[in-house]
Amino acid sequence: MTQHISPYHAPDFYRDALAKGRHRDIVGGRWEETGRIQMQLLHDAGLQPQHHFLDIGAGSLRLGCKAVPYLDPGHYWATDLSGALMRQGHATELEDPARLSPDHLIEDADFSFPGLPDTITHALAFAVFTHLPMNHLRRALTQIHARFPALQCLLLTVFLAPDAQSALKPVKQPDGVVTHDTRAPYHMLAEDMAHLIRTTGFTGAAQSQRLPRGQILYQLARA
Ligand SMILES: C[S@@+](CC[C@H](N)C(=O)[O-])C[C@H]1O[C@@H](n2cnc3c(N)ncnc32)[C@H](O)[C@@H]1O
């Protein structure tokens, strides 16, 4: 059987899951709790309604359904590998769909951020790089740095392994999820993160909050 870089990359994954009405499950379920946690992370990072926010790998708008009513109209943008997944969220999860133009949902498979304004001040990629090999993260950081000169704060989550030897084997994360080096969900080293952050023009570090499934939050800014 072919191994895809993540379950999201399997052929027809989104079509089949959406046909079964599973748009909440495929972003990991725990809908209310995880949306609330993401909103709290943004408040803690200083997000205000007048800021311009980008939800990277936004899925079915688990965060968007809370961030859209909080932000000034037109200040929420989302990208994802699947446009259909975001549109399903738009159609079913927003209290007031008129508050979010469908033009703000941008399908983007390679972190090139087409059509996004350069006014973005805050961005979050929650549980996205946990599902992608490390080179995707370097690509994303490099592009984010180039595309968003007004960026004040970038939050993202990853899974970590303690050292290179341990990383060879499956690692059981604090709340039970098992991560891997060469298949999803992926782990990396804190040293890998420090290197990627520095070489892509950012500064920042891991934060201490405990997140669902043992993910580690990084808060970054342009160096
Ligand atoms: C676990 S879900 C998290 C979704 C959302 N951030 C949330 O917390 O509700 C991972 C998301 O990453 C998206 N994704 C996977 N690979 C991607 C890529 N290369 N570029 C953009 N999004 C991607 C998937 O479509 C999915 O929506």
| Domain around 108 | 7-222
User: For residue 110, with 0-12 CB atoms within 10 Å meaning exposed, 13-18 middle and 19 or more buried, which class applies?
Assistant: exposed
pTM for the structure as a whole:
0.98
**pLDDT score recorded for residue 223:** 97
The end-to-end CA distance of the chain, in Å, is: 43
Tell me whether residue 2 is in a domain: no
In 3D space, the residue among 31, 40, 93 whose CA is nearest the CA of residue 68 turns out to be: 93
- Over residues 146-161, the mean pLDDT reads 98
The answer on pLDDT for 1 being more than 70 is no
User: For residue 84, with 0-12 CB atoms within 10 Å meaning exposed, 13-18 middle and 19 or more buried, which class applies?
Assistant: middle
Tell me whether residue 194 is in a domain: yes
Nearest Cα residue to atom 1 of ligand 1: 27
Strand partners of residue 216: 158
CA trace torsion 15, 21, 27, 33 (10° rounding): 170
* 27-84 per-position pLDDT tens digit: 998 999 999 999 999 999 999 999 999 999 999 999 999 999 999 999 999 999 999 9
The answer on pLDDT for 2 being more than 80 is no
Indicate if ligand 1 lies below 6 Å from the C-beta of 78: no
- Over residues 144-161, the mean pLDDT reads 98
Tell me whether residue 1 is in a domain: no
Q: What angle do CA 42, 43, 44 make, to 5 degrees?
A: 90
Nearest Cα residue to atom 10 of ligand 1: 128
The count of domains in the chain is: 1
Residue 198 — pLDDT band, cuts 50, 70, 90? very high
Tell me whether residue 165 is in a domain: yes
Q: What is the CATH number of the domain that holds 85?
A: 3.40.50.150
12, 66, 128, best to mutate for ligand 1 pocket (most atoms within 8 Å of CB): 128
